[in-house]
Amino acid sequence: MTARVLLLGTGTGLPDPDRTYTHLAWDGPGGPLLIDVGGDSYRRLLAGGIDPQLLRGIILTHSHCDHINGLPALLFSLRLGGRTEPLPIYGLPETLELANSFLAAAGLEEWATPVVWQPLAAGERLQLGEGLEIATAQTSHSRPCIAVRLSAPAVPAVCYSADTEPCQEVIRLATGARVLIHEATTPEPSPGHSTPRQAGAVAAAAGVQQLVLVHFSPRWTMPIERALAEVVAGGFTGNASVGVDLQVILLVA
Protein backbone atom coordinates (compact mmCIF):
# COMPACT_ATOMS: atom_id res chain seq x y z
CA MET A 1 0.00 0.00 0.00
CA THR A 2 1.15 3.54 -0.75
CA ALA A 3 0.55 6.74 1.14
CA ARG A 4 2.00 10.18 0.74
CA VAL A 5 2.65 13.29 2.79
CA LEU A 6 2.11 16.60 1.02
CA LEU A 7 4.17 19.50 2.37
CA LEU A 8 1.71 22.34 1.96
CA GLY A 9 4.18 24.85 3.39
CA THR A 10 7.75 24.64 4.65
CA GLY A 11 8.62 28.14 5.86
CA THR A 12 8.98 29.82 9.21
CA GLY A 13 6.70 32.31 10.91
CA LEU A 14 8.26 34.90 8.57
CA PRO A 15 7.45 33.53 5.09
CA ASP A 16 9.72 33.67 2.07
CA PRO A 17 8.44 34.38 -1.45
CA ASP A 18 8.36 30.64 -2.17
CA ARG A 19 7.72 29.29 1.35
CA THR A 20 4.55 29.77 3.35
CA TYR A 21 3.89 28.68 6.94
CA THR A 22 4.74 25.05 7.67
CA HIS A 23 1.76 22.69 7.50
CA LEU A 24 1.19 19.36 5.81
CA ALA A 25 -1.36 16.76 4.76
CA TRP A 26 -1.55 12.98 5.11
CA ASP A 27 -2.99 11.39 1.97
CA GLY A 28 -3.34 7.71 2.75
CA PRO A 29 -5.45 5.28 4.79
CA GLY A 30 -7.83 7.21 7.04
CA GLY A 31 -7.14 10.44 5.19
CA PRO A 32 -6.90 13.02 3.89
CA LEU A 33 -5.88 14.59 7.18
CA LEU A 34 -4.53 18.11 7.63
CA ILE A 35 -1.80 18.87 10.19
CA ASP A 36 -1.87 22.54 11.13
CA VAL A 37 -3.55 25.16 8.96
CA GLY A 38 -1.50 27.76 7.12
CA GLY A 39 -2.99 30.82 5.50
CA ASP A 40 -4.20 29.32 2.21
CA SER A 41 -4.59 25.61 2.96
CA TYR A 42 -7.66 25.14 0.76
CA ARG A 43 -5.87 26.32 -2.37
CA ARG A 44 -2.72 24.41 -1.54
CA LEU A 45 -4.62 21.17 -1.03
CA LEU A 46 -6.17 21.65 -4.47
CA ALA A 47 -2.74 22.38 -5.96
CA GLY A 48 -1.43 19.15 -4.44
CA GLY A 49 -4.24 17.04 -5.84
CA ILE A 50 -6.27 16.65 -2.65
CA ASP A 51 -9.96 17.58 -2.55
CA PRO A 52 -10.37 19.69 0.62
CA GLN A 53 -14.03 18.70 0.83
CA LEU A 54 -12.91 15.14 1.62
CA LEU A 55 -10.87 16.06 4.71
CA ARG A 56 -11.50 13.67 7.56
CA GLY A 57 -9.93 15.80 10.23
CA ILE A 58 -7.36 18.36 11.32
CA ILE A 59 -4.61 18.02 13.91
CA LEU A 60 -3.40 21.27 15.45
CA THR A 61 0.06 20.85 16.95
CA HIS A 62 -0.06 24.10 18.93
CA SER A 63 -1.62 27.54 19.03
CA HIS A 64 1.02 29.84 17.55
CA CYS A 65 -0.45 32.04 14.82
CA ASP A 66 1.50 30.55 11.91
CA HIS A 67 0.02 27.11 12.68
CA ILE A 68 -3.65 28.04 13.09
CA ASN A 69 -4.16 31.31 11.23
CA GLY A 70 -5.72 29.66 8.18
CA LEU A 71 -8.47 27.87 10.11
CA PRO A 72 -11.27 30.44 9.66
CA ALA A 73 -10.57 30.76 5.93
CA LEU A 74 -10.48 26.98 5.48
CA LEU A 75 -13.82 26.45 7.22
CA PHE A 76 -15.30 29.35 5.26
CA SER A 77 -14.16 27.85 1.95
CA LEU A 78 -15.39 24.38 2.91
CA ARG A 79 -18.84 25.82 3.65
CA LEU A 80 -18.92 27.77 0.40
CA GLY A 81 -18.01 24.52 -1.34
CA GLY A 82 -21.06 22.85 0.16
CA ARG A 83 -19.68 20.91 3.09
CA THR A 84 -22.09 20.58 6.00
CA GLU A 85 -20.59 17.44 7.57
CA PRO A 86 -18.80 18.38 10.82
CA LEU A 87 -15.01 18.32 10.69
CA PRO A 88 -13.12 16.82 13.67
CA ILE A 89 -10.28 19.00 14.97
CA TYR A 90 -7.80 17.34 17.35
CA GLY A 91 -5.36 19.08 19.66
CA LEU A 92 -4.32 19.85 23.19
CA PRO A 93 -7.15 21.47 25.20
CA GLU A 94 -5.35 24.83 25.41
CA THR A 95 -4.73 24.77 21.65
CA LEU A 96 -8.37 24.08 20.86
CA GLU A 97 -9.51 26.78 23.26
CA LEU A 98 -7.48 29.45 21.50
CA ALA A 99 -8.47 28.14 18.05
CA ASN A 100 -12.13 28.30 19.05
CA SER A 101 -11.71 31.91 20.19
CA PHE A 102 -9.97 32.70 16.90
CA LEU A 103 -12.94 31.33 14.97
CA ALA A 104 -15.37 33.32 17.09
CA ALA A 105 -13.43 36.51 16.40
CA ALA A 106 -13.67 35.84 12.65
CA GLY A 107 -17.43 36.23 12.86
CA LEU A 108 -18.19 33.57 10.24
CA GLU A 109 -21.60 32.75 11.75
CA GLU A 110 -23.36 30.23 9.47
CA TRP A 111 -20.65 30.58 6.80
CA ALA A 112 -18.37 27.93 8.25
CA THR A 113 -18.41 24.17 8.15
CA PRO A 114 -19.22 22.99 11.69
CA VAL A 115 -16.42 21.45 13.73
CA VAL A 116 -16.21 18.84 16.46
CA TRP A 117 -13.48 19.73 18.93
CA GLN A 118 -11.55 16.60 19.98
CA PRO A 119 -9.20 17.31 22.92
CA LEU A 120 -6.27 14.96 23.33
CA ALA A 121 -3.38 14.65 25.74
CA ALA A 122 0.29 14.52 24.80
CA GLY A 123 1.24 10.85 24.58
CA GLU A 124 -2.26 9.83 23.52
CA ARG A 125 -2.84 7.55 20.53
CA LEU A 126 -5.75 7.92 18.14
CA GLN A 127 -7.18 5.04 16.15
CA LEU A 128 -8.84 6.46 13.05
CA GLY A 129 -10.35 4.86 9.96
CA GLU A 130 -8.68 2.22 7.79
CA GLY A 131 -6.12 1.34 10.45
CA LEU A 132 -4.58 4.82 10.65
CA GLU A 133 -2.92 5.38 14.03
CA ILE A 134 -1.82 8.78 15.26
CA ALA A 135 0.69 8.77 18.11
CA THR A 136 1.67 12.00 19.86
CA ALA A 137 4.39 13.31 22.16
CA GLN A 138 5.00 16.56 24.01
CA THR A 139 7.66 18.72 22.37
CA SER A 140 9.90 21.36 23.95
CA HIS A 141 8.47 24.65 22.75
CA SER A 142 7.36 28.01 24.13
CA ARG A 143 3.71 26.89 24.05
CA PRO A 144 2.28 23.42 24.67
CA CYS A 145 2.92 21.53 21.45
CA ILE A 146 2.69 17.95 20.19
CA ALA A 147 4.72 16.02 17.65
CA VAL A 148 2.76 13.44 15.67
CA ARG A 149 3.53 10.05 14.15
CA LEU A 150 1.30 8.53 11.49
CA SER A 151 1.24 4.84 10.67
CA ALA A 152 -1.10 2.46 8.90
CA PRO A 153 -1.00 -1.22 7.89
CA ALA A 154 1.60 -1.88 5.17
CA VAL A 155 2.61 1.81 5.13
CA PRO A 156 5.97 3.02 6.54
CA ALA A 157 5.54 5.36 9.50
CA VAL A 158 6.29 9.07 9.26
CA CYS A 159 6.93 11.43 12.17
CA TYR A 160 6.52 15.22 12.26
CA SER A 161 8.34 17.06 15.04
CA ALA A 162 6.22 20.23 14.94
CA ASP A 163 7.96 23.16 16.68
CA THR A 164 10.58 22.02 19.18
CA GLU A 165 14.11 22.16 20.38
CA PRO A 166 15.78 18.72 20.48
CA CYS A 167 14.08 16.50 23.04
CA GLN A 168 13.96 12.83 23.98
CA GLU A 169 10.18 12.67 23.55
CA VAL A 170 10.47 13.38 19.82
CA ILE A 171 13.37 10.95 19.45
CA ARG A 172 11.30 8.20 21.06
CA LEU A 173 8.28 9.01 18.91
CA ALA A 174 10.36 8.94 15.70
CA THR A 175 12.23 5.73 16.53
CA GLY A 176 11.18 3.05 14.07
CA ALA A 177 9.67 5.51 11.59
CA ARG A 178 11.09 5.62 8.08
CA VAL A 179 10.76 9.38 7.60
CA LEU A 180 11.25 12.24 10.04
CA ILE A 181 9.96 15.67 9.07
CA HIS A 182 11.77 17.94 11.51
CA GLU A 183 11.82 21.68 12.02
CA ALA A 184 15.09 23.57 11.49
CA THR A 185 14.33 27.19 12.21
CA THR A 186 17.45 28.74 13.68
CA PRO A 187 21.14 28.95 12.71
CA GLU A 188 22.21 28.64 16.36
CA PRO A 189 20.67 26.69 19.26
CA SER A 190 17.65 28.57 20.54
CA PRO A 191 14.97 27.78 23.13
CA GLY A 192 11.94 26.17 21.53
CA HIS A 193 13.44 25.60 18.08
CA SER A 194 16.12 23.48 16.40
CA THR A 195 19.06 24.05 14.09
CA PRO A 196 19.73 21.84 11.05
CA ARG A 197 22.60 20.22 12.96
CA GLN A 198 20.32 19.44 15.90
CA ALA A 199 17.70 18.02 13.54
CA GLY A 200 20.38 15.76 12.09
CA ALA A 201 21.32 14.57 15.57
CA VAL A 202 17.68 13.78 16.36
CA ALA A 203 17.29 11.84 13.11
CA ALA A 204 20.47 9.88 13.81
CA ALA A 205 19.36 9.05 17.36
CA ALA A 206 15.94 7.91 16.12
CA GLY A 207 17.46 5.75 13.37
CA VAL A 208 15.22 7.02 10.57
CA GLN A 209 16.13 6.53 6.92
CA GLN A 210 15.01 9.91 5.62
CA LEU A 211 15.08 13.40 7.12
CA VAL A 212 13.20 16.35 5.63
CA LEU A 213 13.80 19.80 7.11
CA VAL A 214 10.84 22.19 7.39
CA HIS A 215 10.05 25.41 9.26
CA PHE A 216 13.17 26.54 7.45
CA SER A 217 14.26 29.64 5.54
CA PRO A 218 17.30 29.83 3.25
CA ARG A 219 17.33 33.54 4.07
CA TRP A 220 16.80 33.53 7.85
CA THR A 221 18.18 30.11 8.83
CA MET A 222 21.08 29.46 6.46
CA PRO A 223 21.69 28.52 2.80
CA ILE A 224 20.41 25.08 1.85
CA GLU A 225 23.87 23.67 1.07
CA ARG A 226 25.12 24.69 4.50
CA ALA A 227 22.02 23.25 6.17
CA LEU A 228 22.62 19.84 4.58
CA ALA A 229 26.26 19.93 5.65
CA GLU A 230 25.10 20.76 9.18
CA VAL A 231 22.77 17.75 9.14
CA VAL A 232 25.75 15.50 8.40
CA ALA A 233 27.76 17.24 11.11
CA GLY A 234 24.94 16.33 13.48
CA GLY A 235 25.58 12.67 12.76
CA PHE A 236 22.90 11.80 10.22
CA THR A 237 24.14 9.88 7.18
CA GLY A 238 20.80 8.90 5.64
CA ASN A 239 18.77 10.63 2.94
CA ALA A 240 18.48 14.30 3.95
CA SER A 241 16.81 17.18 2.16
CA VAL A 242 15.29 20.58 2.75
CA GLY A 243 11.58 20.43 2.06
CA VAL A 244 9.91 22.72 -0.47
CA ASP A 245 6.29 23.83 -0.71
CA LEU A 246 4.00 21.28 -2.37
CA GLN A 247 6.64 18.55 -2.19
CA VAL A 248 5.31 15.01 -2.04
CA ILE A 249 6.91 12.44 0.26
CA LEU A 250 5.95 8.94 -0.88
CA LEU A 251 5.60 6.18 1.71
CA VAL A 252 5.91 2.85 -0.08
CA ALA A 253 6.22 -0.48 1.75
Tell me how far apart the alpha carbons of residues 55 and 63 are, in angstroms, rounded to a whole number.
21
Q: What is the DSSP string of 162-193?
A: -S-BS-HHHHHHHTT-SEEEEE---SS-BTTB
Tell me how far apart the alpha carbons of residues 186 and 42 are, in angstroms, rounded to a whole number.
28
pLDDT of residue 1: 74
pLDDT of residue 51: 98
Q: Can 66 be counted among the known catalytic residues?
A: yes
Count CB neighbours of 106 within 10 A: 15
pLDDT of residue 39: 86
**Local structure of residue 193 (DSSP, 8 states):** B
pLDDT of residue 128: 94
Q: What confidence tens digit (pLDDT) does each residue in 26-68 have? A: 999 999 999 999 989 999 999 999 999 999 999 999 999 999 9
Which residue in the list 27, 36, 66, 245 is annotated as catalytic?
66
Q: Please name each of the domains of the chain with its CATH number.
A: 2-252 (3.60.15.10)
pLDDT of residue 229: 98
Which positions ≥6 away from 114 have C-beta within 8 Å? 84, 86, 87
pLDDT of residue 162: 98
Which positions ≥6 away from 43 have C-beta within 8 Å? none
Q: Beta partners for 147?
A: 137
Residues of the chain with pLDDT under 70: none
Which positions ≥6 away from 107 have C-beta within 8 Å? none
pLDDT of residue 2: 85
